[in-house]
Amino acid sequence: MTVTLSRPQQIQSPVTLPFEGRRSTVRSDKFATANLALPLAAETAAERAVLLLTATGVILARYNNADHISVGVSKAGSVLGLFLSTPQHLSVRALAEDLRAALEGLQVGPSDLDKQVTSAERDAAVGRDPLFAIVMALDDAPAPFVQQDLTLHFDDTSGRLVANYSARLFRPEIVSGFLRHLCRVLQAIEADASATVGSVQYIDAAEQSDLRGLGSGGAPAHCGTVAQHLLAALTRGTDEPVLEFHDQSWTLGDLMRRADQIISGLGAHVHKGARFGIGLRPGPDQIAALLAAVRVGAVVVPLDTSLPALRLAAILADATLSVIVTEKALVAHFANFAVDALLIETLPASDARLSSWSVITIEPESALYLLFTSGSTGRPKGVLVPHRTLANLVAWEDRQRPTRGKRTLGRTSIAFDVGLQEIFATILFGGILVLASENERSNVGALANLLARLRISRLYLPPVALYQMTESAPDDLTALECLKHVIVAGEALRISQAIRRFFRSTRARLINQYGPTETHVATEVVLDDAPLRWPDLPVIGRPIAGVDVHILDASGVSVPLLVPGEVAIGGIAPAIGYVSNPELTEVLFVDDARAGRVYRTGDRAKWRLDGTLEFVGRADSQVKVRGYRVELLDLEVNAARLAGVRQAAAKFWTSGDWKGLALYFVLDAVQAPTMRELREALRERVPEYMLPPLHAMFALEELPLTASGKVDRGQLPEPSVSQVVEAEPLDVGGRIRAIWSRRLGLIQFEPDEDFLELGGDSLLAIQIVSEINDALKVAVPLSTLLRGTSLRRLTAVVEGFITNRTTRISLVSEVASGQMELSTMGEPRNDRRVASVDLPCGRFVTPSPSETRHLWQEIYGQRAYHPDMIRYATGDTIVDVGANVGVFSRFVLDVTGGCRLIAIEPADELFQCLQSNLAARSNGVTLLKLGCWREDSDANNFFYFPRVPAMSSFRPDSVRDRSLLEELLKNDPVWSKADDRHEKEQFLKTAFAAESQPCPTRRLSTVFAEIGLDHIDILKVDVQRGEEDVLAGLSETDWPKIRQCVVELQDHKGSVAAMRSLLQAREFSVDVSTIPLHAGTDVRFVYAWRRA
């Protein structure tokens, strides 16, 4: 039976008519009436009731996309609920027959409704009947009052169907439309007895036409190609700046000349239709590579080297590239793939005289770029997008908001379509693209200050970055007077109080754009009301020019106003399809007789009465996480492939306390890994944003299943997150813990658990750091949390800022003879003893005599830094990065007999010892108290281990640090002979108690420039897992200044191979070795030298 009197489990809440806004929780006594004449082919009142209930069931099922619905009937003064099974394939005749049988046997009494519903359910319904919202009156007997939304009654006298409805809930046109749709269903039933619930056409031609008008963006803004935009820009002139980066500017002519070099270097590899991989960091070369591809008609394939190696390999396998353009610093990422690579550094000099260019003629349907998104098979899927899509969008944007002379911040990766939009919508239309550095891109907390400093007019952001920027923006925003437009896209926009405050203060306009990768931007809305009047969930607006948007039901038919349906996008926007996946292309890119070719997005939305679109959610397992599109099946497939995992299921929680990804495992009983081990293994397969926090990862005996054998995600346990309610502590540590606990929503956690593993993300990092800075009057950088840290380390950082708030930091100290000032930041320290140790090369002041003896053995005894191929000479210029207490510095002064030495050390205590140990050898010695890093910063976090100072680092790793220390102790002559295992174990347990020290960092190129180094004979780097970060701070123009290089590093995840490739790419000869002192460890020495 499709009709029952007992409520099925599938019916959670009653279906009703579409409406705008939220239901009122106040009982409404405001009712209205609508009526419509119905020509019913029914001989009796009973048959008429069957037809009306059948039509009502069909309409409610179609409105709500529901396989089960409820409707109330009133008869003989009583009301009872009927529960209808209404799957799309069910014939309308079968539904009518079951209703007829149910009504014939219907006997109701005054208490029957109470038998169907408990008082608790009534309370939970908040003023509405929990069983049904629509009531059909079967006779004229007055029914007891039921809090329904709408009551239907057929008036025999007038032959009209009368609807009494809540006027505070429904608009009159909605109820009138409902009655019209009922009439259409009745006509369809009479005309075609074989019609099914899903096939009945209930919208007439006039309404269909109105819906098509709503969904049409009109004529395209541009029907051509991005190449045509480039040609037009070249025709207008090439001498005006279009790009700024690191305080330098480039004209379009400059970029085109660089593009010519790239085309020349690629030769036959690049041509019309060739897929052209771009593996370059943001900068002028990356922009020039894009222009080179457009000029010759090649297909741009951006390559993100931050992806896990397995995922990058899957992308390269599907991309079928002709060539990759990359740089020496990144080429190691592509070394294992059979694709030719062009190093940007090897290009010939440009012809500065060239000032005119031709651009290839290409069809608008030709491919422009290939981007990869999360796929349900566990592999990324490649979306091939034509010229017409982006060419139309950027032309339309310029028509809406002219770009000429405006400054746009470039901060989005070109691996996302917005990154390409950001670039081409600016430099091809007379604007200036101001590229943010790597540090500026990641430090969203300082974005408002960056916008003011760079005088930015237009900004593209994902919503999560907008939240972060506005949360951390200063109260006084007058410096942002240049900011005119902020454009958000990527996920649903939610308006916070901080966003309202920001836009009220800046007077900038907020623009919300919507569109998946497969179509790029399809709709837009400008929030031009007063920010205080903005809704919490803004609409996604109307279609842009050239784009058609359709809202379809499961049968592919347009749905009426306010009825949710699937978003299908047509017109000029849809992509060509998915590479290497014609089956999926055929399923999702559909040729429709009425709408043309459309892409069925899987998103759900509805038309509002004002003609705008309201985003409702997803129809499948695809979700958005921090602006990134994630297929839950992608996560599940990769999780299920991990060792020790039998099954895996993923869920994205949007209700309750926890909102985010959760992962559920059924583990192998024999080799069951821990959740932490699984998370680390999964990190090798999926990007960071797809990793759930540890508290949202579960081991289950078995996955709950539905009756059909599918995973029942409704029965999966919700991650346990509790709100913290406790008195405000007075001490610094307690206040930080309270903020940490409240923002993360956790009561139980260990002080050494990692912020990211506890569920922290960039938005929470902003909130925690902002609250701490405000509460304690400090300036902790956002990077403290974004790079991952624990509560203990964060507390140490904050306490360090408080301790040093009034003290002086000296970045450069010229050593004076006899100077010995064992102090931190200029103030005496009495909390820790500094000892001295006598070695064959002299006495050293040190916080760890045993460690200094170890360094002496490594450097003097086993000549780790002086193999045959590394030559030292009197008068050399030597840079010692990671000087510690100065053992290597003393060694080079001894072996050269005198040299120019620049010794760099970030740790407070070690630097003070370094000053003392080199005081007697001060001639030509410069000491720098700072760290070397990828970017210049005045406050980075250095983690200092007082018991093992040489293992202090900007990138601590407790697991790897302990493992390394255990092996080193085995090789140590003192520890290896020790009988007391307990003493050794106690030492290992306490060795990595850290204190975090705020420390300035500088790029090596900054150091070279400030000191005035024009050549470096030997660069020595030993910084405990930060060696790549140090070398990333070298500009390409500084590499030729370096004659020899020695790097001590740990060989983890191919780091030695990557270092070898990096140095060989810069024309060094390279050798790798180790020493007996490091036997059994992964410590290696990489030697690099230039042949004479």
Q: CA geometry: angle at 1085 spanning 890 and 856, to 5°?
A: 30
Measured CA to CA, the distance from residue 409 to residue 450 in angstroms comes to: 9
Measured CA to CA, the distance from residue 234 to residue 800 in angstroms comes to: 55
Measured CA to CA, the distance from residue 489 to residue 396 in angstroms comes to: 16
Could you tell me the pTM of the whole model?
0.66
Residue 924 sits at φ, ψ, to 5 deg, of 80, 10
Give the residue from 362, 374, 372, 373 showing the smallest Cα distance to 321. Answer: 372
The reported pLDDT for the residue numbered 561 is 92
Q: Which residues of the chain have pLDDT under 50?
A: 7-12, 21-31, 110-128, 708, 722-728, 805-832, 974-980
Give the residue from 152, 213, 202, 151 showing the smallest Cα distance to 177. Answer: 202
**What structural domains does the chain harbor?**
3-202 (3.30.559.30), 226-362 (3.40.50.980), 622-705 (3.30.300.30), 732-803 (1.10.1200.10), 812-954+999-1089 (3.40.50.150)
What element of type H or E holds 911? helix 908-917
| DSSP assignment letter at 887 | H
Q: CB–CB of 520/567 below 8 Å?
A: no
Question: Which positions ≥6 away from 709 have C-beta within 8 Å?
Answer: none
Measured CA to CA, the distance from residue 653 to residue 632 in angstroms comes to: 12
DSSP for 632-651, written as a single string: HHHHHHHHHTSTTEEEEEEE
What element of type H or E holds 622? strand 622-625
Measured CA to CA, the distance from residue 1005 to residue 879 in angstroms comes to: 12
Residue in the block written with tokens 């008008």: 213
Measured CA to CA, the distance from residue 57 to residue 52 in angstroms comes to: 8
Q: CB–CB of 332/1069 below 8 Å?
A: no
Q: What is the pLDDT of residues 54-84, one digit of tens each?
A: 999 999 988 888 888 888 888 877 778 888 8
Measured CA to CA, the distance from residue 784 to residue 794 in angstroms comes to: 7
The reported pLDDT for the residue numbered 114 is 47
Measured CA to CA, the distance from residue 396 to residue 521 in angstroms comes to: 11
1042-1050/1069-1073 β-pairing: unpaired
The reported pLDDT for the residue numbered 976 is 44
Measured CA to CA, the distance from residue 6 to residue 229 in angstroms comes to: 64
The reported pLDDT for the residue numbered 427 is 98
Tally of CB atoms within 10 A around 976: 10
Q: b/e for 700-735, b at 16 or more Cβ within 10 A?
A: eeebeeeeeeebebeebeebebeeeeeeeeeebeeb
Question: Which positions ≥6 away from 493 have C-beta within 8 Å?
Answer: 463, 466, 512, 537, 538
Which tokens sit at 83?
């529960």
Give the residue from 391, 362, 341 showing the smallest Cα distance to 273. Answer: 362
Residue 136 sits at φ, ψ, to 5 deg, of -105, 120
Q: CB–CB of 845/822 below 8 Å?
A: yes
Q: CB–CB of 932/1004 below 8 Å?
A: yes
Dihedral angle sign, alpha carbons of residues 600, 601, 604, 605? negative
Q: CB–CB of 786/765 below 8 Å?
A: yes
Give the residue from 494, 437, 430, 496 showing the smallest Cα distance to 457. Answer: 430
Give the residue from 661, 700, 652 showing the smallest Cα distance to 682. Answer: 661
Query: CB-hemisphere CA count at 13 Å for 118?
Result: 4
Give the residue from 959, 883, 870 showing the smallest Cα distance to 926. Answer: 883
- 68 beta partners: 85
The reported pLDDT for the residue numbered 370 is 98
Alpha-helical segments (H) within 273-402: 284-296, 309-319, 387-400
Q: What is the pLDDT of residues 716-770, one digit of tens each?
A: 888 865 433 344 456 788 888 888 887 887 777 788 888 877 777 766 787 788 7
